[in-house]
Amino acid sequence: MYQLIKDFPAQINAALEIGEKAVFNTKFTSPIKNIVVSGLGGSGIGGNLLAELLRDELKVPVVVNKGYTLPAFIDNSTLLILCSYSGNTEETVTCANLAAQNKWNPICITSGGKLADIAVKNNFDLITIPSGFPPRACLGYSIVGLFYVLNHFGLIGDSFKAAYKKVANLLQAEQADIMKGAEALAADLKGKVMIVYADEKYDSVAVRIKQQFNENSKSHSWVNVFPEVNHNELVGWRRDYPSLAIVVLRADDEYKRNTYRIEFTEGVIKKTGNSLHEIKAKGADTFEKHFYLIHWGDWLSYYLAVGQGFDPMEIEVLTALKHHMSSIVD
């Protein structure tokens, strides 16, 4: 996992090369009215990031689908994208079969497996990404591929290409400092349940970090965002919880009134004696800030795993679940 995280900036550049070579045959006879991205876990978080990063540019809604079924509103004006790194995600494969039955034409992003087979059989457009890695370590491939799909169908311009190149350069330049900071913070978080708070525009980043705590660090975590935190969860901070640690994601483009809320909330938590830490984003734009925080979270989850004596690559219980589900015939 160490090398996979370290190679993340290079992966972004490699994903841009794959995107440039992608071929699309799907045609829309009417304007695209909505986008549905279907995927789970490390394959699905790209959809959340897509919607968040393009919130000020996209003129059509994005729905991120995380299950066995697809929304009833889907029709021939829907851009449907199916993402499964392995190509064997049970839920996403089920959605691919549903799409085939309904004669929809989804775009598939995968490294192979059943999803690739279904795509070839039904002449679905297919972006093939490198295989053989944990899905959570291939976010660069999946998220960049999504942007190329939207770009091809005229929903976004070309500016994302330069933005991702800048992201890769920033992460490469900052990586040594990120690693140093993450290793130091991990020492304070050992054995804790992590609570990740962020401004609502960084919701997907907080969720991604939670997922990495779960899979890499073998730790529990939960996520909430401002201002929602202040409408319920704030009331629960009445005493010290020694088993908890709060990590607050900060950025200089927070909504101004959320900054006031974050500062007030941090004051309340600190008065109770709870452990609270901030991770501050770097970058010139929202792309750079998002991926800076994501990379920070990846390294933090790695060092936390090592510090707690866990192999960050090992996910035996998820493998056991997949075998269990495959043995069940409905």
Active site residues: 215, 231, 322
- Residue 39 phi, psi (nearest 5): 180, 165
Per-residue H/E/C for the chain:
CHHHHHCHHHHHHHHHHHHHHCCCCCCCCCCCCEEEEECCHHHHHHHHHHHHHCCCCCCCCEEEECCCCCCCCCCCCEEEEEEECCCCCHHHHHHHHHHHHCCCCCEEEECCHHHHHHHHHCCCEEEECCCCCCHHHCHHHHHHHHHHHHHHCCCCCCHHHHHHHHHHHHHHHHHHHHHHHHHHHHHHHCCCEEEEEEEHHHHHHHHHHHHHHHHCCCCCEEEEEECHHHHCHHHHCCCCCCCEEEEEEECCCCCHHHHHHHHHHHHHHHHCCCEEEEEECCCCCHHHHHHHHHHHHHHHHHHHHHHCCCCCCCCHHHHHHHHHHHCCCC
Q: Within 10 A of 254 (CB to CB), how many other CB atoms are there?
A: 20
Bridge-partner residues for 199, per DSSP? 226
- What is the Cα–Cα distance from 124 to 106, expressed in whole angstroms? 6
**Residue appearing with tokens 């995107």:** 19
